[in-house]
Amino acid sequence: MSGILLILFVFILISFLYLQGSGFETARLNSMVFAGGIAFLNIIVSFLILQVIIDFPQDRFNKYFFGSMAVRLILLIVIILTVLKNAEVIDFVFITALIILHFSMQIWEVFFLNMKLNRKQTA
């Protein structure tokens, strides 16, 4: 979890510097806040799901893990479209920040999962 906090800290720092250069324009600020919030909630849900299914047998684990990924991806698409349609955001800034955060956190999720599974096998 500390890796996620590090990613968020770096994101907040970079966002602050970016927004400072733009005079904290509302649409840019909204874009960064929505992107950060959505990515953070997505990874928290992922970690909660992993905590529940980590001890399942492999076939059941795979089914639930990949099923939850599909559901989260569909929900993510719906949320993104809702934000783009209803919120005052700059589309490019919002999507770019969200993609960078999403992939950074997915990489961390893979490391986290690998660490948990390795511990489980050695125990």
* pLDDT value of position 70: 95
> What residues make up the domain containing 59?
2-122
Q: Interior CA angle at 60 toward 103 and 79, to 5°?
A: 35
- In this predicted model, what pLDDT tens digit does every residue of 17-73 receive, in sequence order? 777 877 778 888 889 899 989 998 998 898 899 889 988 998 999 999 999 999 999
What amino acid occupies position 26?
Answer: T
Q: What is the Cα–Cα distance from 50 to 112, expressed in whole angstroms?
A: 10
Q: What is the Cα–Cα distance from 69 to 73, expressed in whole angstroms?
A: 6
How many domains is the chain partitioned into structurally?
1
What amino acid occupies position 117?
Answer: L
pLDDT band at 5 (very low <50, low <70, confident <90, very high): confident
User: How would you classify residue 23: left for phi > 0, otherwise alpha for psi between -120 and 50, otherwise beta?
Assistant: left
**Over 70: is that where the pLDDT of 123 sits?**
no
- Which has the closest alpha carbon to 47: 91, 97, 113? 113
- In this predicted model, what pLDDT tens digit does every residue of 68-117 receive, in sequence order? 999 999 999 999 999 999 999 999 999 999 999 888 888 888 888 888 77
The mean pLDDT value of the chain amounts to: 87
Q: Decide which of 13 and 89 is more confident.
A: 89
User: How would you classify residue 101: left for phi > 0, otherwise alpha for psi between -120 and 50, otherwise beta?
Assistant: alpha
